[in-house]
Amino acid sequence: MKTSFLLLAFFALFAVSALALGTPSDFFSGADEAALRARLTEQLERRQSSDELIEEDYYAVATLASLSKTTSFPNSAQLCGKASTLLASASAKIVDAQAIHRALGVISALKCESQPSPATLSSLGTKLVESVLANDQAQLADLHAALAALQQIQKTASPAVTVSSDVASEVAERIADLMEPEGLFRAGSNDEEGTAGNAGLAYHALALLKRAAALNVAPKKGADGKSGPVDASKQAALKHIKTVAESISQLLADVDEEDDNIIEFEDSQNPLRATALFWIGAEALTRSGESVTVTESQVAKLAEFFLRHKRVSNAVDAYHLLRALKTVASNVWKKSPLVVTLPNSSVLASSKGEDSLVKFRVTDVFGKFASKANVYITKVYPTANEKQVILHNQQATPVSTNADETLYSFNILAAKPDQGLYSIDLSVAPESKDAPVFGAVGVVRGVKVVVTADLSDVAVQVVDALEDEDLEQAYKVSYPEKVAEVIKANPLQHVLVSFRGRPLPVQQAFVVFRHEESGHEVILPAQLTGNKYKVHLNLREAGRAFQGRSGKYSVHLLVGDAFLHRPYFWPVADVFLSLGKQREEPAAPSTEGLRPEIHHQFRKPEKRPPPTVSMTFTALVVGVPVLVLFVGLFLVGANFSNFPLSGTGFLSAVGFLGCISAVIGLYVLYWLQLTMVETLVYLAGLGLVTILVGWQALRHRLYARLAASAKDTKRD
């Protein structure tokens, strides 16, 4: 009674100290780090000497430098040379702040010997931010890059290089103007929509600005002990920064409501990068002195999101992933989740000692020791039935043999569970209240209890009829032995194989007949009858399945199950099967040597008539209609004497006949390819021209007739 009361009291205190609702289910392991290092190293090795210093180079170098075991960088001399050249040219005229930032980052990460002098870097830092600010088309990323580059210059060359309060006020105002009402940021003044990734850049840029302009430094006191005059520009900058900082918590809370397990900022191109930028920027701005509220649940959900995307494919994503995880592991709020994982997710029911324990690994997001912890098992139940609790109120104990003190264990086999899937509902919390980590309640992890199959009463028998089955006459064998003699069966007999097993039933139970000479296999499913598996092979009907191959076959038992510790593939006997006349199999074609040459033959063209016949047919098709036309005109008495041969009359007459011909041609095109609408459009224009030239031709003909009539009258 007293023990139960203490456990309940401990659990109540434990739940209060672990307010988070969940904890990440995985961590960024050493294997993940090694795979990432190999991938980025290969990327740098592929660089050509003529390549420019690009974004991927900077992020690959910066990511490798942040990994714990990186000792060398491929093509480092080449990268240093490109970065130094870029900075030397930039000192004369600043063109691209982002390129300058990348070059400074490469030089710092590689510790390049050849780099610009401190004086050159100081001069570059002095005009870098002002140069970007003077460009009305500068993007948020340019401002961030300029401030980040200035920070690198302050660290490596000249700490005295700063930003004036007037410039700081203008930069803060420029950034604040890009904020949307809901808290997202646009990339530039001409953009319409904001993103979380741009918000993260804005937060980080403002954090860098506070450091570069010393905005957090109080004004110096005078000789009388009073503070100096208030800097209005500095106050204006701080006001803009505070306005931005106040929007972070609400924006994070809005996204937190969308999912119970992760926090993800949607982005049309890259949600991982957007979420990482937001998280890194929010933490940096808070670290600079601004007040931003972040809950333990939100940190745990962010960590879960990042760890779900830990297998990245490019250097940019890898850089942001690692920075985000490092911010999760160590941040200004001193809130880092304890990660609970299972090194081994299965337990053998018959195991003893250490092997019978379920072990939990409690670490940070990088799989390293975070804090000594209390791990409390609330309940254990079959995954398919939560109400059937088999174990509850147990405390996991630290594993004494574990050097890094991250392993805890408890004995699930004390409840004597059957094989199957079980869910473990647990809570975890740091031992010390001052530890910069937090635990969780209601953490569920799955474990599988497996068993060893026990096969018994294995019997192989050949009978003339099923009624003759007699286990006393059967060949019996125990695992892992095999029947000593070869069992023979003729085409009129039956082969019976039976066995018992525990547990029953199993998911897979087969008897495999393998032909010794050809390797041909026949797999027959075993049927569960009562508490025994049986296979019946009727040799009268087995010819097709066995392809008529008589000869010696080895008989194997194949038993498998998801909850078996290991499957069985046990050769129990050899049988000689006589299946009647053996079918002759054609020899398999050889896959070696030269293949027959392939000859491509095109289809022979159809026979065509001789050219003289074709030309004669063409002449008749074209010439006969023309001949018929002229003969017809002659027969109807057509008079060509009045056709004008000069002047405007000739032009109008030829134009009219040409338009008539064009109309006929348009009708032909209508039947061949034009639509009715297209034809009507063309006909409208052509018809107007035809009317005009036709009217002119008829007018000329009328004047000619009137002139001829007047001439005849005068002659009379």
Torsion of CA 175, 181, 187, 189, to 10 degrees: -70
Spatial contact of 377 and 393, defined as CB atoms under 8 Å apart: yes
Give the Cβ contact number of residue 36 at 10 Å.
21
Residue 558 sits at φ, ψ, to 5 deg, of -115, 110
Tokens of 378: 């609330």
CA atoms of 436 and 329, how far apart (whole Å): 9
In order of 12, 515, 549, 571, 631, the CA distances from 552 in angstroms are 70, 6, 9, 13, 99
CATH number for domain 339-450, candidates 2.60.40.1080, 3.40.50.2300, 1.20.1250.20, 2.60.120.510:
2.60.40.1080
Per-residue three-class SS string for 212-239? HCCCCCCCCECCCCCECCCCHHHHHHHH
Q: What does DSSP say about strands 339-341 and 420-430: parallel, antiparallel, or unpaired?
A: unpaired
Structural tokens at position 679: 């034809």
Contact 298, 399 (CB under 8 A): no
For the record, the structure tokens of 147 come out as 């401030």
Q: How far apart are CA 479 and CA 121, in angstroms?
A: 79
The Cα-based distances of 594 to 329, 507, 600, 601 in angstroms read: 63, 48, 18, 21
Q: Which residues of the chain have a pLDDT value below 50?
A: 1-20, 222
Contact 327, 49 (CB under 8 A): no
Provide CB contacts within 8 A for 73, sequence distance 6+. 44, 61, 64, 65, 79, 109, 110
Residue 689 in 3-state DSSP?
Answer: helix
Burial readout 684-708 (b: 16 or more C-beta within 10 A, e: otherwise): eebeeebeebbebbeebbeeeeeee
- The structure tokens 């805890």 sit at 408
User: Please, which contacts does 177-185 make with residues 24 or more away whose CB atoms are closer than 8 Å?
Assistant: 178/140, 178/202, 179/243, 179/244, 179/247, 182/251, 182/254, 183/247, 183/248, 183/250, 183/251, 184/251, 185/140
Token code pair at residue 86: 């870029």
Using the structure block, give the residue that is written with the tokens 């610009």.
116
CB 428 within 8 A of CB 14: no
CATH topology match: 339-450 vs 454-577: yes
Give the residue among 101, 37, 105 at the shortest CA–CA distance from 73: 37
> In this predicted model, what pLDDT tens digit does every residue of 611-651 receive, in sequence order?
888 888 878 876 777 788 778 767 876 666 667 777 777 88
Give the whole-angstrom CA distance, residue 125 versus residue 311: 37
Residue-wise DSSP of 330-344: S-TT--EEPEEE-S-
Helix (H, G, I), strand (E, B) or coil at 298: helix
Count the neighbouring beta carbons within 10 Å of the beta carbon of residue 577. Answer: 23
- State the distance between the two ends of the chain, measured CA to CA, in whole angstroms: 155
Q: Which of 281, 223, 211, 212 is nearest to 247 (CA)?
A: 281
3-class DSSP string for 554-603: EEEEEEECCCECCCEEEEEEEEEECCCCCCCCCCCCCCCCCCCCCCCCCC
**Secondary structure of 375-422 as H, E, C letters:** EEEEEEEECCCCCCCCEEEEEEEECCCCCCCCEEEEEHHHHCCCCEEE
- CB crowding 383-419: b at 16 or more within 10 Å, else e: eeeeeeeebeebebebbeeeeeebbbbbebbeeebeb
* Residue 480, preceding peptide bond in cis (omega within 30° of 0): yes
At residue 677, φ and ψ (nearest 5 deg) are: -65, -45
Domain borders along the chain are: 30-219+230-260, 339-450, 454-577, 644-707
Rounded Cα distance, 104 and 457, in Å: 76
Q: Give the Cβ contact number of residue 239 at 10 Å.
A: 13
Query: Considering the entire predicted model, what is its pTM?
Result: 0.72
Task: Give me the CATH topology for the region 454-577.
Answer: Immunoglobulin-like (2.60.40)
Angstrom distance (rounded) from CA 273 to CA 314: 11
Of 83, 102, 110, the closest CA to residue 141 belongs to 102
* CB-based contact 415:393 (threshold 8 Å): no
Show the tokens assigned to 395: 């405390």
Instruction: Please name every residue paired with 508 in a beta bridge, in sequence order, or none if there are none.
Output: 560
Q: What six digits make up the tokens of 51?
A: 């390549």
d(CA 72, CA 111): 11
The rounded radius of gyration (Å) of the Cα atoms in the chain is: 45
The pLDDT of residue 35 is 93
Tell me how far apart the alpha carbons of residues 43 and 259 are, in angstroms, rounded to a whole number.
36
